[in-house]
Amino acid sequence: MTPKATLQDVATRAGVHRTTVSLALRDHPRIPAATRDRVKAAAAKLGYRINPLVSALMQSRRSGRAVKHVALAFVTNYPTRFGWRPPHHDRPDYFPGAVERARDFGYKLEHFWLGEPGMTSLRFCDILSARGINGVIVSRLPPGQHTMDLPWSRFSTVALGLTLRAPLLHHVTENHFDAACQGMQRCRERGYRRVGFVFSEADDSPLVGSCWLGAFLEQQRQFPEKDRLPPCPAVPADEAAFRTWFERFRPDAVLASHGRPVLTWLERMGRRVPRDFGLIDLAGDHPELACAGVYYDPAKLGALAVEMIIGLMHRNETGVPEHQHEILLTGEWRDGKTLPPRG
């Protein structure tokens, strides 16, 4: 990796002192216009960028006033302003945990909605720049949306979840592969032998389903070949497709992407959970159902995104990364009531 240009590199190239470079890049009137232009040209040639956090700290020292409440942006793009959070949406809400963690570091996290009337990507970025906001957390996108067009080079950016696929940014998400592995292992330990898999709801990120399904198929190798069941073929399944698959293969437990629809279908089929059947809710985002599964604390995911974005800002890393980093949060197994040991 090519080392980032330093203030001294710019000074050497422009033939001036480091202090002159600092003043010239801030358009200080003490520096002649010709010198400012020469310094800026040298900085551009070397790819030098001012670190916004260092700049704020130096400004604080010069003025004698502490820098307070440096802001970060939490960006959403649902059709409505708050369509991304309960009660308008039944997916986890990462925002409160992110707000608390930002406060721990002396930052203020503010929500920005890209659907504001008259908002464009350029206008949005100009608003952030005018307010001195250099860190952007992109929340989960609405179903069917997997791209976002912003002048990424101007900001340090982290995405939450796996919904944003273009561009590929650093992101923080749940360890979905591990969740399905844990589910299959618990089934084996508790005496379930014919374990199936069903996509019971459409997911806003197909990659999540791929992680679940890949883990299910890999873990099936631990079962005797005669007990390895194919997943329910419909993606997502409806009640009729689930019933047809269930009656043909007779599973004694199912890993479901979402527990609520399967509980309803089984009840209509006269099957009782957990008396007749075991169920694991992979999404685990409805603890009120008391399903067995892996729970991910949305507050921890929001906090991890804040920690990651602050690290990028301190290192002055902006734009689409050349090497994408991924932080996975491993969830907590919860027994619930739907996967008791089989007699």
Q: Is the pLDDT score of 125 beyond 90?
A: no
- Residues 126-158: pLDDT tens digits? 898 888 888 999 999 998 899 998 889 889 999
* All structural domains of the chain: 7-48 (no CATH), 70-173+298-331 (3.40.50.2300), 176-296 (3.40.50.2300)
pLDDT reported for residue 49 = 67
Could you tell me if 172 and 304 are in contact, meaning their C-beta atoms sit under 8 angstroms apart?
yes
- Residues 35-81: pLDDT tens digits? 989 998 988 888 776 655 555 545 545 555 444 458 999 999 999 99
**Averaged pLDDT score across all residues of the chain:** 88
pLDDT band at 200 (very low <50, low <70, confident <90, very high): very high
Q: Is the pLDDT score of 206 beyond 50?
A: yes
Q: Which residues face 292 on adjacent strands?
A: 280
Could you tell me if 227 and 216 are in contact, meaning their C-beta atoms sit under 8 angstroms apart?
no
Q: Is the pLDDT score of 174 beyond 90?
A: yes
Residue of 286 and 114 predicted with greater confidence: 114
Q: Does pTM top 0.75 for this prediction?
A: yes
Which of the 8 DSSP states describes residue 287?
A: G
pLDDT reported for residue 60 = 45
pLDDT reported for residue 23 = 83
Could you tell me if 115 and 79 are in contact, meaning their C-beta atoms sit under 8 angstroms apart?
yes
Closest CA to 138 of 308, 315, 343: 308
- Residues 211-243: pLDDT tens digits? 999 999 999 999 999 999 999 999 999 999 999
In whole angstroms, give the CA distance from residue 266 to residue 275: 12
Q: Burial of 15 by CB count in 10 Å (0-12 exposed, 13-18 middle, 19+ buried)?
A: exposed
Q: Is the pLDDT score of 90 beyond 80?
A: no
